Every structure is written in C-alpha cells, then in structure tokens.
Amino acid sequence: MTVRPDFLKNISPYHGEVVRNFISKEIQQKLAHKLDIMPNGQTWYSDIYKKAIYGPMVFRDEELELVETIEELLPNYRILADLYLEKTPDDQGFPFHTDFDSIGFMERPEDMLTVWIPLTPVKEAGTGQLSIVMEEGAVRLSLIREANQLHSLVRIVNPSVPAHPPFQMTEHEFDYLERTKYTPSLDAGDALLFCNAFFHKSEDVQEGNRAAYILRLVPKDAKFSRTRLLGLKQLGQNLAVVNELLEQHYPTESN
C-alpha cells in the first residue's frame, strides 16, 4: 500500500487497511448460513444486487464473536450497524460513492469506519472486488459531498431552508477516482477497513456469486446529529438503527 500524506493519516491510522483472516472459516460458515436463510430486504439496494439485507444485525449473535473481534482489533470503536450484499454478473452494483447518504448519523460522519468482509474470494478482476480511493483530493471532494448531503437533510427537516444545487462530479473527477483507486486482493474472511469519507465502488462480477458482509463502526464517544437522524428517518433510510439512536439520544423525537 502506498504511503498516505499526513492529511489522510490524521483521519485515522486504521483507515484503508487490509486485515487478513479477520474471521475464521468456522465463523464464515456460521455467518454465511445465517445470512443465506434470511429473506431479501425491502430496500433500494435490492434494485442493484441479487440480495441485499440492510441491517440484519447478526453481529449481535454472540456465537459469531464479532463484537469481541472488533473490541480486540479496535478497542475505541463499536459496531453500530451491518449490511449484506450478494452480487452476480447481472447486478450493476454501486459506482464511486461515499456512505454519507444512508449512514451519515453522526456529527462527524467521516469518523465512521467500514469493515468490508468478502465471504467469497475476491482476488482478481471479475470477482467483485471493492476499490477505494485514499487520495487527498478525493477525500476533500467527499467532504464537499458531505456538506451538500447535510444541506439536503436540513431541508427535509426544515423545508424553509433554500434549495441548493445538487452535488455532481465531473467526468474529469470520475476519471481521477478511477485512475487513483486501490483494489486489494482479498480471500474469504479477510477484511478491508476504510474511512466513511473515502470514495469506493463495487467492481464487476463476471461469473458466479459474490457475497460480502459489511460492518459499520463508530467511535465509542461518537456524537449523533439530531438533524441527520430526523432527515434519514423521513427518507426511510436504515430505520432500525435510526430509531434506536433517536430513542437513546433524542427520546422526544423518537415517536
């Protein structure tokens, strides 16, 4: 992996890192079985993936020991939410994006950490790898996108706020992301840890089925934004987690 400048290192030393053998073969099998028997989710993810379950919350299953795994690896973080995605050659997947739209609960959503765990090997092109961009220009671009998204959520909560031009990247900027992306080779059970502010994309699957389980981590002392939570609730995004956080931090708004 290339050396990152101080601007990126200061986000977190853990972001943009590969962890080998993050979960054992035994845990992989148990996790895959639990997710396989769950029905497909009713979410906009289902439009672009064979199967998408937003918030199965299987990390709470003590048999999987995921909470303990995170506690040992990243003691200052806790698991907030999870996601499961199966992708086939017929599925479009996501182009370059950040996760502010659906998971930006926090006052500082760029502090969120994603743990992307393939349950099938993604070692080469055509297997559905995940690419991320850890360049300073891309991170600054993503923070502009975050500001735009926050403005949109504010308008949902308070429609009197004036409209703002939508965030759109130019063809030049997309080319820059493609040129500077990092696409690691991962075996089943490995993990790619990266910052919520990093642009990332799902690469194509040429044959078979790619399965990935994703954890969303937050610092244990994270502060959650009332405006963001209410905006995401009105959008119907990740309601199980949004409602839990409202009940915990803003109980008068949870009804």
pLDDT band (50, 70, 90) for residue 3: low
Note whether residue 242 is domain-resident. no
Q: Where are the beta strands (DSSP E) in the chain?
A: 17-19, 51-54, 77-87, 113-118, 130-132, 191-195, 200-202, 210-219
What integer pLDDT is reported at residue 12 of this predicted model? 67
Domain coverage including residue 154: 6-225
Percent of the chain, pLDDT > 90? Answer: 58
158 or 9, higher pLDDT:
158
105 belongs to a structural domain: yes
Domain-located, residue 143: yes
What's the whole-number mean pLDDT along residues 127-134? Answer: 95
pLDDT digits (tens, 9 = 90+) for 24-69: 999 999 999 999 999 987 766 777 888 988 889 999 999 999 999 9
Q: Is residue 250 part of a domain?
A: no
Q: Which two tokens stand for residue 240?
A: 């199980």
φ/ψ bin of 169: left (φ > 0), alpha (ψ from -120 to 50), beta (otherwise): beta
Nearest to 59 by CA among 31, 38, 32: 31
- Establish if 178 belongs to a structural domain: yes
Q: Residue 141: which pLDDT band, with cuts at 50, 70 and 90?
A: very high
Instruction: Say if CB 30 and CB 63 are below 8 A apart.
Output: yes
Q: pLDDT over 70 for what percent of the chain?
A: 93
Confirm whether 32 is domain-assigned. yes
* pLDDT at residue 2 tops 60: no
Mean pLDDT of 116-123: 98
- pLDDT value of residue 108: 86
pLDDT, greater one: 99 or 184:
184
Tokens at residue 119, please? 């349950």
Q: How many domains does the chain have?
A: 1
The pLDDT mean for the chain works out to 89
Residue 252 falls inside a structural domain: no
The confidence score (pLDDT) of residue 6 equals: 67
- The pLDDT score that the predictor gives to residue 254 is 65
Task: Name residues whose C-beta falls within 8 Å of residue 76's C-beta, 6 or more positions apart in sequence.
Answer: 219, 220
Largest Cα span, the chain: 53
Please give the pLDDT value at position 44.
65
Full-model pTM: 0.90
Is 210:86 a contact under the CB 8 Å cutoff? yes
Residue 171: pLDDT over 60: yes
Residue type, 102: S
Q: Is the pLDDT of residue 4 over 70?
A: no
pLDDT at 209 over 80: yes
98 inside domain: yes
Residue 115 has pLDDT above 90, yes or no: yes
| CATH number of the domain enclosing 208 | 2.60.120.620
More confident residue, 100 or 251: 251
Mean pLDDT of 183-208: 94
